[in-house]
């Protein structure tokens, strides 16, 4: 079994003070986006002050993966939780650019920056 | 063996999200052979993925027992100059005018697929297919790659 | 979306060596999704490549305007337990008994494809196809991977 | 244009004394094997004492690529030239094992060993 198709997109969750760093891996497409979204919303329920989504392990993401992140964004805005994205691979970065969501999300270059 | 890349690959794909990674691998390699750079190949693959996703969601309403007819065609002689992707579903007829992208400024989940496709491909055409369903035809030209002049 | 990998992908491929890398990418990704380890997936991909090469050389004599019908089928419920690959050509009828590997000790170029296929796959069957040509069916089971017990 | 499909499988040829090291790259299949074979036989014509074929850049090879190397082997045997293979990736190594040609070719682990 390989991570791209079978396991959860959210590989691990790690607390740094009151922030939580969520590590995502594998391709995120229609096959995995609803599980991705559910895992992300579960993170909000644990009441962090900030969520850092590390997309370093995501080689491919389409608009259904982006939609899961937009859903997370509106949830975090509602509940006053900070949200930052980090580790975008070139392909994932370009999906954000094409959909102009790179100006909507806070996208950081490093985890340090995202946690600062 | 000297051989050319000038004939289509025809595929009948189950309308299940499970198969999307397989189709991405297929088209990604074909784009590489045709001569697209990595970035452009990625955009073409993303467009097909978005279009297949729309067919699964909207034409088949999530039913996985449908079939999507796919034609992946390198176009041009003697060397390929473009790739043409045709996707045909057997879903309920839909007015092509209804298939359009929404206002991007309204930030909400969904409604980005058609925008991505139109942004990434050179030509995108939805038409009712003979015998029912919808035929989507999209073309990406080699010379429309970034860093090359548009014709 | 919860979905399963239990239906075949059907492909009509031009009989040109140019398309071999595309088919390798397609089957390689499908084998990964079915759950084969890298090494076994490589052996399955190699087998299909050898069989396609033989069809191009022997069934079509190098003519690139033929078509090869390919079916790539994950087999098993609810999770796939094997992959079945069917390749059908429209070349002259050939006696399946004539398709055999040579003595490996006689070191010379060629004559290794059928040996590789039989060595890598669990079952290999050549049969005359309905309406002419040859149908090759080969199966590789997940549980025949090295490091797992044979059933 | 990418190396897998369009350019020559033989990327470079480098003399080390009277031996020549031939670097091969890309997938070798029916599409590229005849060009591969021709390039290899051209090397013999340059009369080296030994030919070292470096397959480090070959991620995939099928029996038509192997056939080109067997053809080279019989040519070098006829002309008394030494032939060694080096840099076999795991997948290429396994094709040699399946066809039992790993016992027929001199396969080395490093270029130093191949040139020794
Ligand atoms: N293959 C299709 N068949 C029917 N309707 C479609 C198809 N593709 C797209 N549409 C319509 O176009 C709209 C916009 O599609 P898209 O931009 O991908 O957003 P989303 O799928 O998230 O709604 C869809 O909501 C749907 O109404
Ligand atoms: N699809 C096919 N149609 C007709 N004959 C075939 C086919 N595949 C294999 N053969 C026969 O089987 C023989 C052995 O094939 P193979 O082991 O791949 O070696 P090679 O192709 O190098 O001769 C071939 O020489 C050919 O006569």
| Chain C residues within an 8 Å CB radius of A2 | 32-33, 35
State which residue of chain C sits closest to A33, comparing Cα positions. C1
Quote the pLDDT of residue D1. Answer: 37
Kindly state the percentage of chain A with pLDDT values over 90. 93
Quote the pLDDT of residue A7. Answer: 74
Indicate which residue's Cα is closest to atom 1 of ligand 1. B55
Q: How big is the C-D interface in CB pairs under 8 Å?
A: 66
Q: Indicate the pairing of strand D50-57 with strand D19-25.
A: parallel
Mean model confidence pLDDT for chain D: 94
Q: Does A110 lie at the interface with B, CB-CB under 8 angstroms?
A: no
Distance CA D56, CA C102 (A): 29
CA-to-CA dists, residue C67 to C60, C62, C91, D17, angstroms = 9, 12, 10, 50
Quote the pLDDT of residue B54. Answer: 97
Tell me the pLDDT band of B150, cut-offs 50, 70 and 90.
Answer: very low
Residue in D62, D71, D87, D83 with CA at minimum distance from that of residue D38: D71
SS3 A66: helix
Give A47 to chain B, closest Cα distance, Å: 22
Cβ atoms C138, C125 nearer than 8 A: yes
Q: Is the pLDDT of residue B151 over 80?
A: no
- Out of 3.90.1170.40, 3.30.565.10, 3.30.310.10, 3.10.20.600, select the CATH number for domain C9-141: 3.30.565.10
Report the sign of the C-alpha dihedral through residues C54, C59, C62, C65, in that order.
negative
Whether residue D1 is contained in a domain is answered as no
Which of A105-109, B45-49, C110-114 has the weakest average pLDDT? C110-114
Read off the pLDDT of residues C37-72 as tens digits, 9 standing for 90 and up. 999 999 999 999 999 999 999 999 999 999 999 999
| Chain D residues within an 8 Å CB radius of C24 | 27, 60
Q: Is the pLDDT of residue B149 over 60?
A: no
Quote the pLDDT of residue B145. Answer: 83
Cβ atoms A43, A69 nearer than 8 A: no
Tell me the pLDDT band of C78, cut-offs 50, 70 and 90.
Answer: confident
Residue in B120, B99, B39 with CA at minimum distance from that of residue A98: B120
Q: How far is CA B70 from the centre of its chain?
A: 9
Quote the pLDDT of residue A5. Answer: 52
Element (H, E) at A115: helix A111-115
Quote the pLDDT of residue C147. Answer: 57
Q: Indicate the pairing of strand A82-86 with strand A50-57.
A: parallel
Quote the pLDDT of residue B40. Answer: 97
Whether residue D34 is contained in a domain is answered as yes
CA-to-CA dists, residue D7 to D24, D25, D39, angstroms = 11, 9, 12
Domain that holds residue A43: 10-115
Element (H, E) at A44: helix A33-45
Quote the pLDDT of residue B147. Answer: 57
Average of pLDDT values for A28-35? 96
Largest CA-CA distance found in chain C, in angstroms, rounded: 54
Sequence ranges of the domains in chain B: 9-141
Residue D88 has phi, psi (to 5 degrees) of -65, 125
Q: Are the Cβ atoms of A5 and C32 closer than 8 angstroms?
A: yes
- Return the DSSP state at C57: I
Which of A76-80, B142-146, C91-95, C134-138 has the weakest average pLDDT? B142-146
State which residue of chain D sits closest to B30, comparing Cα positions. D5
Q: What secondary structure does DSSP assign to D34-81, as a single string? A: HHHHHHHHHHHHT--SEEEEEEEE-S-B-HHHHHHHHHHHHHHHHHT-
Quote the pLDDT of residue D6. Answer: 58
Q: Does B64 lie at the interface with A, CB-CB under 8 angstroms?
A: no
SS3 B141: strand
Task: Verify cis geometry, omega within 30 degrees of 0, for the bond prior to D78.
Answer: no
Alpha helix (H) residue ranges in chain C: 20-34, 38-54, 113-120
B19: nearest CB among C1, C9, C19? C9
Q: Which chains does D contact via 3+ CB–CB distances below 8 A?
A: B, C
Q: How far is CA A90 from the centre of its chain?
A: 15
Instruction: Provide block-wise average pLDDT over 10 residues at a time, chain D (116 residues).
Output: 64 96 97 96 97 98 97 96 97 96 96 96
Read off the pLDDT of residues C96-139 as tens digits, 9 standing for 90 and up. 999 988 888 888 888 899 999 999 999 999 999 998 999 999 99
What tokens were used for A50?
């900030």
Read off the pLDDT of residues B78-119 as tens digits, 9 standing for 90 and up. 899 999 999 999 999 889 999 988 888 888 888 899 999 999
CA-to-CA dists, residue D68 to B26, C2, C117, D32, D107, angstroms = 28, 47, 19, 10, 16
How many domains, chain A?
1
Give the other-Cβ count within 10 Å of A3's Cβ.
Answer: 14
Report the sign of the C-alpha dihedral through residues D101, D106, D109, D110, in that order.
negative
Quote the pLDDT of residue C149. Answer: 43
Q: Please tell me if the CB atom of residue C16 comes closer than 6 angstroms to any atom of ligand 2.
A: no
Residue in A69, A30, C112 with CA at minimum distance from that of residue B48: A30
pTM here? 0.94
CA angle, C74 then C79 then C85, to 5°: 10
Whether residue A57 is contained in a domain is answered as yes
Q: Are the Cβ atoms of C32 and A4 closer than 8 angstroms?
A: yes
Q: Please tell me if the CB atom of residue C116 comes closer than 6 angstroms to any atom of ligand 2.
A: no
Residues 6+ apart with CB under 8 A from B47: B85, B116, B117, B120, B121, B138, B140
Residue in C82, C55, C66 with CA at minimum distance from that of residue C12: C66
CATH number of the domain where residue D38 is located: 3.30.750.24
Q: How big is the B-D interface in CB pairs under 8 Å?
A: 14
Quote the pLDDT of residue A6. Answer: 58
Q: Does A27 lie at the interface with C, CB-CB under 8 angstroms?
A: no
Whether residue A73 is contained in a domain is answered as yes
Average of pLDDT values for B16-41? 97
What tokens were used for A23?
């590590």
SS3 B75: strand
Residues 6+ apart with CB under 8 A from C47: C85, C116, C117, C120, C121, C138, C140
Q: Which of residues 113-142 of C touch D (CB under 8 A)?
A: 113, 115-116, 119-120
Q: Please tell me if the CB atom of residue C57 comes closer than 6 angstroms to any atom of ligand 2.
A: yes
State which residue of chain D sits closest to B33, comparing Cα positions. D5
Asked if chain D contacts chain B via 3 or more Cβ pairs within 8 Å, the reply is: yes
More confident residue, C15 or C101: C15
Distance C147 CA to ligand 2 centre (A): 31
Read off the pLDDT of residues A1-13 as tens digits, 9 standing for 90 and up. 344 455 789 999 9
Has the ipTM of the complex gone over 0.90? yes
State which residue of chain A sits closest to B53, comparing Cα positions. A30
Looking from the CA of D96 toward its CB, the CA atoms found within 13 Å total 20
SS3 D113: helix
What tokens were used for C66?
């033929």
Quote the pLDDT of residue D5. Answer: 52
Indicate which residue's Cα is closest to atom 5 of ligand 2. C58
- Return the DSSP state at A62: -
Q: Are the Cβ atoms of D70 and C49 closer than 8 angstroms?
A: no
Distance CA C17, CA C64 (A): 8
Q: Are the Cβ atoms of B3 and C33 closer than 8 angstroms?
A: no
Average of pLDDT values for C83-104? 92
Distance CA C6, CA B33 (A): 30
CA-to-CA dists, residue C80 to B17, B26, C74, C105, angstroms = 15, 21, 6, 38
Q: Are the Cβ atoms of D34 and B32 closer than 8 angstroms?
A: no
Q: Is the pLDDT of residue B125 over 90?
A: yes
Q: Is the pLDDT of residue C150 over 80?
A: no
CA angle, D42 then D47 then D50, to 5°: 100
Whether residue D53 is contained in a domain is answered as yes
Whether residue A5 is contained in a domain is answered as no
Q: Are the Cβ atoms of B116 and A60 closer than 8 angstroms?
A: no
């Amino acid at each position: 079994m390989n991570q791209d198709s079978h396991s959860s997109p959210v590989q691990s969750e790690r607390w740094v003070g009151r922030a939580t760093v969520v590590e995502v891996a594998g391709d995120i497409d229609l096959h995995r986006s609803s599980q991705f979204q559910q895992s992300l919303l579960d993170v909000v329920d644990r009441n962090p002050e900030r969520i850092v989504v590390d997309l370093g392990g995501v080689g491919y993401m389409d608009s259904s993966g982006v939609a899961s992140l937009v859903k997370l964004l509106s949830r975090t805005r509602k509940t006053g939780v900070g949200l930052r994205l980090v580790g975008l691979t070139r392909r994932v970065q370009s999906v954000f650019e094409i959909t102009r969501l790179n100006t909507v999300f806070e996208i950081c270059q490093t985890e340090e920056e995202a946690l600062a | 063996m000297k051989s050319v890349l000038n004939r289509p690959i025809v595929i009948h794909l189950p309308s299940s999200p499970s198969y999307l990674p397989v189709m991405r691998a297929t088209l990604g390699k074909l784009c590489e052979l045709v001569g697209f750079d990595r970035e452009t190949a990625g955009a073409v693959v993303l467009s097909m993925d978005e279009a297949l996703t729309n067919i699964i969601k909207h034409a088949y309403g999530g039913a996985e027992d449908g079939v999507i007819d796919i034609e992946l065609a390198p176009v041009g002689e003697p060397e390929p100059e473009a790739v043409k992707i045709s996707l045909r579903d057997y879903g309920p007829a839909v007015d092509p005018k209804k298939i359009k992208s929404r206002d991007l400024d309204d930030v909400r989940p969904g409604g980005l697929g058609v925008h991505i496709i139109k942004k990434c491909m050179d030509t995108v055409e939805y038409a009712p297919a003979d015998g029912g369903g919808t035929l989507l035809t999209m073309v990406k030209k080699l010379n429309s790659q970034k860093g090359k002049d548009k014709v």
